[in-house]
Amino acid sequence: MRFLIIDDDEEFRRVLKYYLAVNWSDTPIEEISPADRNITPEQIEAEQYDTIFLSYPMRGEFGFQWLRELRAQNMCPPVILFAQDSNEFLAVDSIKAGAASYFPKQKLRYKRLIRIIRAELGVGVTSSTGLHFMQQSALGRGQNYRYLETLHSGEFSSIYVAKNLLDDSRVAFKVLRQVPDGGSDHLFDRFLQEYELIASIDHPNVVKIFDLGVADDHAYIAMEYLPAGNLALRLNEPLEPALAVRYAQQIAAALSVIHGFGILHRDLKPSNIMFRDDDTIALIDFGLAKQMELEAALTGNGQIFGTPYYMSPEQGHGNALDVRSDIYSLGCLFYEMLVGRRPFVASSAMGIIYKHAHSARPQLDADLRLFSKLLGKMYAADPHQRYASTDQLLDDLTTLRV
């Protein structure tokens, strides 16, 4: 592999190079300072690298010029953008311009950086497994799609992007691998039944499902491609209260409609809250897909799977769930949107799960106290003290005066 850092700031290049070398000690890491060498984007042979780390803005740059010109090159690898300023709209614009991910320089965190790089290393690499799967699934049957790239490839699932040849639009394919002898056959049946229901939902805040099925030892979902990023990219700092309420209303509206079909989300978190280009929210990655991965993970190694930060006490302890569990998760998300941090943190997953069940709910600052009652009914430890339905929550969110 080869990495390329493009930045005029020598100190930042040194820190970033150190982070990379800790994890990829044998990987060549090249540096370019455009100001020193008077170099332009078209002079860089992007295809020679596996990941490019790009500063923004460059001297005299206008409108992501460097990013756009690099991404326009054939076989350009993922470009991770490091901006001088922290701005949620800048983050969205950078993703639209082609960035694989976005970091404010002053909030660079080692663990998140390494996690993002590992996830992005598969982008743009033709996967023989992915191509074989797609030939056997919807792409092979209808001949209306062409494989473009692999967005993510993990042990239990992969995500591909394909081009719809009928209208030139892009479609995302999530592929879930069935684990032989894992006792998951019943989950595949339920998975198909649940996603058939989701595919029938026509709601602005629920991702559009175009196709689903089983091919060989895989299940797949063909869905709307959402390139504008997810909520996690916008949580580097607190959101404006009115914006947080607007997002919470849209998430609650999506939950309300899926709850009406008897479906629980079960895995509500920032990375599953996606944005369309018009800044509306689309809810993705519903619970049975995650449950299939969970069962496979437990079967394989017995480890805890997933993040506990937004998990209701009953879910964390393996008890029966209903709509109030999703409402709890939304409460944790709403708190984070307002405050800029998660309501419960600890040094271990079990520590966080314990706090969800036993710790006092965090207090809000004076300027956010108008949300205290509503939040208290969203993420109360006792399910009986929460909203009984998402419709009740949506009513209160809609009438809230911010």
User: Would you name the residues annotated as active-site residues?
Assistant: 267
Alpha carbon 222 to its chain's center: 17
Helix, strand, coil percent values for the chain (each to nearest 5): 45, 15, 35
- Burial (CB < 10 A; 0-12, 13-18, 19+), residue 64, is buried
Give Dmax over CA atoms of the chain in angstroms: 65
* Packed helices 185-199 and 287-301: angle between N→C axes, nearest 10 degrees: 160
Name the region of 10 (left: φ>0; alpha: ψ -120 to 50; beta: rest): alpha
Phi, psi at 62, each rounded to 5°: -130, 125
Handedness of CA 140, 145, 146, 148 (dihedral sign): negative
Cβ-Cβ contacts under 8 Å for 142 (sequence gap 6 or more)? none
User: Residue 147 and residue 136: Cα distance in Å, rounded?
Assistant: 12
Calpha distance 353→313 (Å, rounded): 7
The CA R_g of the chain, rounded to the nearest whole Å, is 22
Which has the closest alpha carbon to 252: 218, 205, 286?
205
Question: Measured in whole angstroms, how far is the alpha carbon of residue 323 from the centre of its chain?
Answer: 22
Q: In what order do the strands lie in the sheet with 157-164?
A: 145-153, 157-164, 170-177, 218-224, 209-215
Residue 247 contacts residue 238 (beta carbons within 8 Å): no
Angle at 323 between CA 320 and CA 326, to 5 degrees: 95
Residue with tokens 């964390």: 316
Q: How far apart are alpha carbons 101 and 23 in whole angstroms? A: 19
The DSSP code for 125 is: P
